[in-house]
């Protein structure tokens, strides 16, 4: 598959999901990363008008979990996030946030991902770690 085909396929499965609700879009992929973006608007605000940490965590978990499928190139696995931690370092009020997931450990069943969430100026907003569990679909 080409890079464009991978991104089209990844975005097509977001219909009727949290990713669609949050307007998360996969925008780049490489041999060791997957990148997504999410708009910062009223659907992801805290009451005081800044990006909600929970929305950031949802973006991080979405891109990390999708990366398991895409980078492992195995469509016959079930993936679940089993732990996520996010250190929110800076707030954001408008534009987009971008999440890049890269593997730290890519085991057969357990994977550990680093997800860096940045803003339009490439400032680090959050640094996240996601542990995923994958197994063959029965």
CA–CA dist 122, 134 (Å, integer): 31
**Burial state string for 76-90 with b = 16 or more CB within 10 A and e = fewer than 16:** eeebebeebebebee
Q: Running DSSP on this structure, what letter comes out for residue 74?
A: -
Instruction: Give the residue extent of every domain in the chain.
Output: 3-136
Enzyme catalytic residues = 61
Report the pLDDT averaged over residues 108-131.
Answer: 96
- State the average pLDDT for the chain: 94
Give me the residue label for tokens 């929110």: 88
Report the pLDDT averaged over residues 14-31.
Answer: 95
Report the pLDDT averaged over residues 102-128.
Answer: 96
CA–CA dist 93, 121 (Å, integer): 13
CA–CA dist 42, 44 (Å, integer): 5
Task: Pick 3-136's CATH classification: 3.30.479.30, 3.40.50.10440, 3.20.20.100, 3.10.129.10.
Answer: 3.10.129.10
């Amino acid at each position: 598959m080409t890079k464009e085909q991978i991104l089209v396929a990844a975005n097509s499965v977001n219909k009727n999901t949290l990713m669609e609700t949050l307007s998360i879009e996969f925008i780049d992929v490489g041999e060791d990363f997957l990148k997504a973006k999410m708009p910062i608007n009223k659907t992801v605000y805290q009451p005081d008008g800044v990006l909600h940490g929970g929305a950031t965590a949802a973006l991080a978990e979405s891109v990390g979990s999708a990366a398991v499928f895409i980078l492992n190139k195995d469509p016959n696995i079930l993936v679940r996030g089993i732990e996520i931690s996010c250190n929110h370092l800076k707030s954001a009020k408008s534009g987009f946030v971008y999440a890049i997931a890269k593997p730290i450990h890519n085991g057969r069943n357990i994977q550990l991902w680093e997800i860096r969430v940045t803003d339009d100026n490439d400032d680090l907003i959050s640094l996240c770690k996601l542990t995923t569990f994958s197994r063959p679909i029965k």
